[in-house]
């Protein structure tokens, strides 16, 4: 159970992260064993291991944590979660840190947050990712000359039927929109509760 101040908002950064993570993350139970970092396929690319991140969260080093590249290199393989002796939901916490990082606009080392937003745009409008649109939108915004480099590959994938040339909307889009709207509503309520959060 996390601590709160008098208005019910989480007291510390650790409490904020716990409150912003769905379900029971058990983050407060971390014993700093390092099994997660040792298991992580993205570890060599991360500027902090998950163990380090969790120590910094506990120490209230909010800005440093939200500037870390580690959550953006997490590929959601869940290997750390399977191996953690304390049943800490490492992957879920990584998603929480990504959301906090986007809201705080603190992570400016790469275009990953923008890529994530473009991906969400396609899911919200078509119910699935549209690889060609995702890549071309991202490249035009961040690396226009790079479009020519990947054009051949894109054409090859389209002609071989590996990716489609136009986006295809899923059936049941209205139902998905209702689910996404509800999720946004819950997120807004949670953000309001987590006063002093990353936003
Ligand atoms: S494996 Fe679990 S307990 Fe060990 S450092 Fe990672 S999160 Fe903490
Ligand atoms: S889920 Fe993320 S943090 Fe955990 S092992 Fe996989 S890449 Fe690393």
**pLDDT for 197:** 46
The Cα-based distances of 65 to 52, 94, 106, 160 in angstroms read: 9, 11, 9, 43
pLDDT band at 5 (very low <50, low <70, confident <90, very high): low
Answer whether 77 contacts ligand 2 (Cβ < 6 A). yes
For residues 113 and 19, what is the distance between their CA atoms, to the nearest angstrom?
22
Over residues 54-82, the pLDDT tens digits come to: 999 999 999 999 999 999 999 999 999 99
Please compute Rg for the chain using Cα positions.
19
Higher pLDDT, 119 or 81: 81
Mutate to test the pocket of ligand 1, among 17, 48, 54 (most ligand atoms within 8 A of CB): 54
**Rounded mean pLDDT, 118-135:** 86
Which CATH code fits 13-105?
1.10.1060.10
Atom of ligand 2 nearest to the CA of 81: 4
Cα-Cα-Cα-Cα dihedral sign, residues 164, 143, 68, 12: negative
Over residues 132-190, the pLDDT tens digits come to: 887 777 777 777 777 777 777 777 878 877 777 888 899 999 999 999 999 889 888 87
For residues 120 and 142, what is the distance between their CA atoms, to the nearest angstrom?
17
Percent of the chain topping pLDDT 70: 92
**pLDDT for 174:** 93
Q: Where are the domains of the chain?
A: 13-105, 112-179
Mean pLDDT of the chain: 86
For residues 196 and 183, what is the distance between their CA atoms, to the nearest angstrom?
21
For residues 164 and 133, what is the distance between their CA atoms, to the nearest angstrom?
10
Answer whether 51 contacts ligand 1 (Cβ < 6 A). yes
Q: Whose CA is nearest to atom 2 of ligand 1?
A: 84
Give the dihedral of Cα atoms 122, 17, 27, 44; nearest 10 deg.
60
Residue 2 has pLDDT above 90, yes or no: no
């Amino acid at each position: 159970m996390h601590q709160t101040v008098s208005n019910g908002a989480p007291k510390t950064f650790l409490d904020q992260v716990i409150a912003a993570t769905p379900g029971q993350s058990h983050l407060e139970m971390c014993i700093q064993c390092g099994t997660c970092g040792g298991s992580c396929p993205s570890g060599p690319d991360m500027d902090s291991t998950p163990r380090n991140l969790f120590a910094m969260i506990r120490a209230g080093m909010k800005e440093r944590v939200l500037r870390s590249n580690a959550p953006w290199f997490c590929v959601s393989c869940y290997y750390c979660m399977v191996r953690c002796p304390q049943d800490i939901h490492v992957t879920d916490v990584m998603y929480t840190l990504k959301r906090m990082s986007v809201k705080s606009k603190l992570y400016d080392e790469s275009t990953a947050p923008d890529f994530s937003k473009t991906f969400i745009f396609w899911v919200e409008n078509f119910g699935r990712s549209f690889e060609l649109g995702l890549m071309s939108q991202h490249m035009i915004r961040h690396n226009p000359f790079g479009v020519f480099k990947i054009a051949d590959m894109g054409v090859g994938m389209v002609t071989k039927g590996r990716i489609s040339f136009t986006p295809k909307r899923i059936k049941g889009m209205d139902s998905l929109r209702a689910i996404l709207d509800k999720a946004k509503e819950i997120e807004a309520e949670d953000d309001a509760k987590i006063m002093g959060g990353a936003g």
